[in-house]
């Protein structure tokens, strides 16, 4: 009985869960009253002032949409067809037209929705398939994909000694996997390591996937955040040229700044047009059973930006500013750390791509950063370089150096 004299009820046996490894950091940061606190946690872009702006091109598309919108009737489980077509074309480039008949695309609730529906469809089609994720991988990959009920395993990916990709070990594992298993790959800006495959490594991976009949599940959450919209998907396109079947999970959160609008897509390329048509019906049914249909706004905005040459150009210019800032903050922080600890190499921080790198700190160091210095990182010691600014870089460097192992 509770204090109020009520029985605990149906949910009374549920225990309090620990905070989410990433979102829990944001909550703890918000609750910290310290004026000098620094958020290097959740993966959102920040400008020099610490804001996560809505790109001007996105705002303009929103204004035009609102002015022209005459109905809010349902969009349907597959979402906005123009968005689906344009977002896949942005990812696959010149390959998109040739693959069109063999591609089934559904608009999803962000990139997470795409990962979840993709895993669900793998389970429906091949319940015995194992999904292999990189070691390490984004903290939500395993919960999200694993909640489909499929088995998960990890393949070697990151070498903490070189701070690069453990490519030989990765390849060895891929060579041992049974055909029909699924390999989840980060297309660019690997989360959480920042260590990406280079072009020749992608070519090798594409060859192994094709030869061994492995099915790539490509997570494209950061197109345009490493270098630019084309260079960042070169590896994806090499894979798409080689394999008969692939799943592609696309997020518009970061590059369009549409985080809370939950705009994304799942494209599945199948060996035949007939299979793609059947897949489209399964995609729609899966969405219908989970949440019925996606929200309209974010995808409509992205479709408008991509369909209007002026808006698209303006958006790409804004994206270029974001990338330049992230690269500059990487170099700045690497330089400040090297100045404090000249005997150590921090070149990896400048070399990594996108927002993330792993600092290689243990749990005690991460706790100390949070509790003593008010600097917030997720439990894996990932840093979001977009949280660094000209203003806070000295303090961030001091704090990191204070928890590095002794000289």
Give the footprint of ligand LMR on this chain (CB under 6 A).
22, 42-43, 138, 140, 191
Contact residues for 149 (Cβ-Cβ < 8 A; gap 6+):
123, 127
CB of 380 to ligand LMR, least distance (A): 10
Under a CB-based contact definition with an 8 Å cutoff, are residues 385 and 326 in contact? yes
CB of 317 to ligand LMR, least distance (A): 24
Is the Cβ of residue 138 or residue 157 nearer to ligand LMR in the bound state?
Answer: 138
Is the Cβ of residue 102 or residue 254 nearer to ligand LMR in the bound state?
Answer: 254
CB of 140 to ligand LMR, least distance (A): 5
Tokens of 290: 């989970």
CB of 138 to ligand LMR, least distance (A): 5
* Whether residue 254 lies in the annotated active site: yes
Catalytic residue among 57, 114, 166, 221: 221
Quick one: which of 186, 154, 182 has its CA closest to 170? 154
Question: What gap in Å lies between CA 69 and CA 62, rounded to an integer?
Answer: 10
Tokens of 343: 């005997």
Is the Cβ of residue 119 or residue 276 nearer to ligand LMR in the bound state?
Answer: 119
Catalytic residue among 114, 202, 226, 254: 254
CB of 11 to ligand LMR, least distance (A): 25
Crossing angle (nearest 10°) for helices 297-307 and 56-68: 110
CB of 86 to ligand LMR, least distance (A): 23
* Whether residue 138 lies in the annotated active site: yes
Q: Indicate the residue whose CB is closest to ligand LMR.
A: 43
Residue count (the chain): 407
Crossing angle (nearest 10°) for helices 56-68 and 309-340: 150
CB of 114 to ligand LMR, least distance (A): 13
Edge-to-edge strands, sheet with 263-269 = 103-109, 263-269, 246-251, 215-220, 182-186, 130-135, 151-156
Is the Cβ of residue 173 or residue 330 nearer to ligand LMR in the bound state?
Answer: 330
Is the Cβ of residue 134 or residue 191 nearer to ligand LMR in the bound state?
Answer: 191
Catalytic residue among 39, 96, 138, 139: 138
CB of 192 to ligand LMR, least distance (A): 7
Q: For 32-44, give the DSSP string.
A: ---TT-EE--S--
Tokens of 354: 């996108």
* Whether residue 219 lies in the annotated active site: yes
Tokens of 200: 């020749």
Burial bucket for residue 100 (CB in 10 Å: 0-12, 13-18, 19+): middle
Crossing angle (nearest 10°) for helices 110-125 and 273-290: 120
Place of tokens 């950091």: 25
Is the Cβ of residue 24 or residue 180 nearer to ligand LMR in the bound state?
Answer: 24
Crossing angle (nearest 10°) for helices 309-340 and 393-403: 50
With helix as H, strand as E and coil as C, how does 159-192 read? ECCCCEECHHHHHHHHHHCCCCCEEEEECCCCCC
Q: What is the distance of C-alpha 188 from the center of its chain?
A: 9
Is the Cβ of residue 18 or residue 33 nearer to ligand LMR in the bound state?
Answer: 18
3-state secondary structure of 287: helix
* Whether residue 72 lies in the annotated active site: no
Quick one: which of 224, 161, 220 has its CA closest to 190? 220
3-state secondary structure of 154: strand
Is the Cβ of residue 20 or residue 398 nearer to ligand LMR in the bound state?
Answer: 20
What is the phi/psi pair of residue 299, to 5°? -65, -40
Catalytic residue among 39, 181, 219, 296: 219
Catalytic residues: 138, 219, 221, 254
């Amino acid at each position: 009985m509770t204090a109020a004299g009520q029985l605990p009820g149906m949910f009374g046996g549920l225990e309090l869960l620990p905070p989410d490894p990433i979102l829990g950091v944001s909550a703890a940061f918000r609750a910290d009253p310290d004026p000098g606190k620094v958020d290097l946690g959740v993966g959102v872009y920040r400008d020099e002032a610490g804001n996560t702006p809505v790109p001007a091109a996105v705002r303009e598309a929103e204004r035009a949409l609102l002015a022209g919108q005459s109905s809010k009737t349902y969009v349907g489980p597959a979402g906005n067809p123009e968005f689906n077509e344009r977002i896949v074309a942005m990812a696959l480039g010149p390959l998109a037209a040739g693959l069109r008949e063999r591609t089934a695309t559904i608009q999803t609730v962000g990139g997470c929705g795409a990962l979840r529906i993709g895993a669900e469809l793998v389970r429906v089609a091949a319940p015995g398939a194992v999904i292999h994720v990189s070691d390490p991988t984004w903290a939500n990959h395993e919960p999200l994909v694993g909640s489909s009920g499929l088995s998960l395993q990890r393949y070697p990916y990151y070498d903490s000694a070189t701070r690069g990709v453990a490519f030989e070990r990765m390849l060895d594992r891929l060579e041992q996997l049974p055909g029909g298993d699924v390999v989840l790959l980060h297309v660019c800006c690997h989360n959480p390591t920042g260590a990406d495959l280079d072009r020749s490594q992608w070519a090798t991976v594409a060859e192994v996937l094709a030869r061994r009949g492995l099915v790539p599940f490509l997570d494209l959450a950061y197109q345009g955040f490493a270098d630019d919209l084309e260079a960042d998907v070169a590896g994806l396109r090499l894979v798409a040229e080689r394999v008969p079947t692939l799943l592609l999970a696309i997020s518009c959160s970061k590059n369009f700044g549409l985080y809370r609008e939950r705009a994304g897509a799942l494209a599945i390329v199948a060996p035949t047009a007939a299979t793609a048509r059947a897949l489209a019906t399964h995609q729609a049914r899966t969405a219908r059973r989970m949440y019925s249909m996606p929200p309209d706004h974010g995808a409509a905005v992205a479709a408008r930006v991509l369909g209007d040459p002026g808006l698209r150009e303006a958006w790409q210019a804004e994206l270029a500013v974001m990338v330049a800032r992230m690269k500059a903050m990487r170099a700045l922080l690497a330089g400040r750390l090297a100045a404090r600890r000249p005997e150590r190499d921090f070149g990896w921080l400048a070399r990594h791509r996108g927002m993330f790198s792993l600092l290689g700190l243990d749990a005690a160091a991460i706790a100390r950063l949070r509790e003593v210095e008010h600097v917030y990182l997720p439990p894996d010691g990932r840093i979001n370089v977009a949280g660094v600014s000209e203003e806070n870089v000295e303090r961030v460097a001091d704090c990191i150096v204070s928890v590095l192992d002794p000289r």
